Structure 1
């Protein structure tokens, strides 16, 4: 039970941090240090990954109402991520992104928009999907893979 409480407290802390980060405008990014921006975007990507795992579990258990809320949260996170790659964050602080993001900024931003749209579509179709796992794979995990395979360092 103690580990559950620690897990919940950790997730609440991350959530509060991310909610605050989401409301940061691009002009504030100029005032943030590159370290802060990199840490914020890493936290947001991690949040989306953890949320995706919850979406998968909830959908598999047919708890669609809660899963849909999380899908829409992920959609907004993808939109926020577009603002988190200023030129001063190409290197350092254990960033795991490739320079290609800055070389293909429009393509990367389009991918984030597509990922956001995919989550909205997923929320509208998941409940009636014949193959829940396949639908999640196509619309949610496929978005993750498209970005990771092109813009993230191998690890």
Structure 2
């Protein structure tokens, strides 16, 4: 009986190890260009999604808005992996050196942005001030990041 459980455990470990190699992106194997373009795409997606969230919430379409807020939250978490040291320059990056000089602050802002989107999703239907809540919990984070960590364009 023990041997059967050990075999099953071993099979599961091998299976999950295999899945991890397929699912978890190998950021170290991505080129600088892929990383920079990837982070730009995520920020762009979040901006476009934020505009949709604003519109949906203003129109009372809370369920769809909340799903998009959760998606944005996950995007902010994923951005933590998109700023390795070797991606400071090139490929029209608009990221300022302040990101790497203040890495903990930048990471904290991405984490706060992620958490704020979850908070916004939890209060959006009950807030008396939809526009103000969106401004405080979504747009203020965008502004904070752009002010300190993004080049003017």
TM-score norm. by structure 1 comes to: 0.83
Quote how far apart the aligned CAs of 1:131 are: 1.0
2-structure distance, mates of 1:147, 1:125:
23
CA RMSD of aligned residues (A): 0.9
2-structure distance, mates of 1:149, 1:29:
27
SS at match of 1:128: coil
- In the alignment, which of 93, 101, 111 is matched to residue 95 of structure 1? 93
Report how many residues are paired.
Answer: 131
1-structure distance, mates of 2:83, 2:114:
17
Q: After TM superposition, which residue ranges in structure 1, 4 or more long, deviate above 4 angstroms?
A: none
- 1:1-150 counterparts in 2 under 5 A? 24-25=24-25, 28-150=26-148
Quote how far apart the aligned CAs of 1:142 are: 0.6
1-structure distance, mates of 2:88, 2:50:
26
5+ residue gaps, structure 2: 1-22
5+ residue gaps, structure 1: 1-22
SS at match of 1:97: coil
1-structure distance, mates of 2:110, 2:43:
11
2-structure distance, mates of 1:124, 1:136:
12
TM-score norm. by structure 2 comes to: 0.84
1:54-85 CA distance string (max 9 Å, x none): 00000000000000000000000000001000
Quote how far apart the aligned CAs of 1:29 are: 1.3
